[in-house]
């Protein structure tokens, strides 16, 4: 048995739900195959009521780690032994890593976004407008602020979540953050460098949905990024492209958070191109 194989053979096939066609599973397993890594990434559906037992199970089975998604990203923290630096600031965990005999919570969502943003623009010294104030927005806001963005405007429908994120950014990062309530057609100011949709608007099946945003305010020298991974070509991406903006789809974030997670678990930096190609195949683009 290869040394890296980290599932006990007796557990093979014990998961109730097969992972077929889960994009994240397909993406990670494509990287494992490409690099000849004898690891497995499986999808299990765990509700909040079973979260403690599931984490104890992962511990007992010596898993090197796991990802967790909504609604478990905050709740999982009380079952862990510690948090990485940005997970502590963000207050949410999407990636758990075994270090020694401890399970440590990390947040790779924001790191993944930042990596894909840095491929087209250095956020240091830049002005950012971000729609949304949920989990993805918190993770992105913190990482972009820590990477040196000078000003971040949070535009959100609900005031309390928006103000909470602005307070977090002002208290815990060097960036200056302000809130604008999103209750009409929003116009992006000319001086803005990066526009980010971190809401769930446009996510399958609501693929026709559009942000209430003045498209005329999107200028060709702006970078427009969308977190929506499915479908990757959202209306925002298409509209921004038509205005001449540089665009970043949600697959970049998904791939890069995957690369970081795999690095944490295996120590290997995998090829993002292979992961993206598998996702594009799945999404038919
Ligand atoms: P949350 O539920 O925590 O937050 C959702 C956000 O979207 C809130 O700010 C909410 O506003 C806003 N929103 C939702 N619907 C509307 C609407 N109709 N009009 C205005 N605002 C709206 O979700 P997450 O932050 O966890 O996820 C957001 C998106 O990010 C999801 O689509 C998810 O798929 C994507 N994502 C992508 C990743 C990637 O790797 N590409 C990784 C993680 C997430 P309000 O506060 O007013 O409710």
Nearest-CA residue for ligand 1 atom 32 is 200
**Ligand 1 center from residue 274 Cα (angstroms):** 27
* Measured distance CA(3)–CA(200) in Å, rounded: 41
H-assigned helices in 91-193: 109-118, 135-146, 159-172
pTM: 0.91
Per-residue pLDDT reduced to its tens digit, 229-276: 999 999 999 999 999 999 999 999 999 999 999 999 999 999 999 999
User: Which domains are delineated in the chain?
Assistant: 3-107+252-283 (3.40.50.10860), 110-248 (3.40.50.720)
Is residue 89 within 8 A of residue 172, CB to CB? The reply is: yes
pLDDT, tens digit, for every residue of 82-134? 999 889 999 999 999 999 999 999 999 999 999 999 999 999 999 999 999 99
Instruction: Tell me the three state secondary structure of residue 177.
Output: strand
- Ligand 1 pocket at CB < 6 A: 70, 109, 112, 132-137, 156-158, 161, 199-201, 203, 227-229, 250, 253-254, 257
CA of 135 to the centre of ligand 1 (A): 7
Residues labelled as active-site residues: 73
CA distance 259 to 261: 6
- Closest by alpha carbon to 113, among 237, 259, 241, 13? 259
């Amino acid at each position: 048995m290869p040394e890296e194989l980290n599932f006990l053979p007796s557990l093979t096939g014990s998961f109730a739900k097969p992972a077929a066609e889960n994009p994240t599973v397909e993406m990670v397993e494509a990287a494992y195959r490409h690099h000849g890594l004898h690891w497995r990434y499986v999808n299990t559906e765990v509700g909040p009521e079973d979260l403690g037992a599931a984490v104890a199970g992962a511990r007992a089975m010596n898993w090197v780690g796991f990802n967790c998604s909504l609604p478990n990203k905050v709740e999982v923290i009380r079952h862990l032994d510690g948090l990485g630096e940005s997970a502590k600031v963000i207050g949410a965990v999407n990636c758990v890593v075994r270090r020694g005999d401890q399970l440590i919570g990390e947040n790779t969502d924001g790191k993944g976004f930042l990596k894909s943003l840095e491929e087209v623009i250095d956020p240091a010294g830049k002005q950012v407008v971000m729609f949304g104030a949920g989990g993805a927005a918190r993770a992105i806001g913190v990482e972009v602020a820590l990477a040196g963005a000078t000003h971040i405007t949070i535009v959100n429908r609900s005031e309390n979540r928006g103000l909470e994120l602005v307070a977090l950014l002002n208290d815990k990062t060097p960036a200056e953050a302000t809130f604008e309530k999103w209750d009409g057609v929003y116009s992006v100011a000319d001086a803005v460098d990066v526009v980010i949709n971190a809401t769930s608007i446009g996510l399958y099946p609501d693929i026709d949905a559009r942000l209430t945003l003045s498209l005329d305010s999107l200028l060709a020298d702006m970078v427009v990024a969308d977190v929506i991974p499915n479908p990757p070509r959202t209306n925002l991406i298409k509209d921004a492209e038509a205005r001449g903006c540089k665009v970043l789809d949600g697959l970049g974030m998904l791939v890069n958070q995957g690369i970081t997670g795999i690095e944490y678990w295996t120590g290997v930096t995998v090829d993002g191109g292979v992961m993206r190609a598998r996702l594009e195949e799945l999404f038919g683009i």
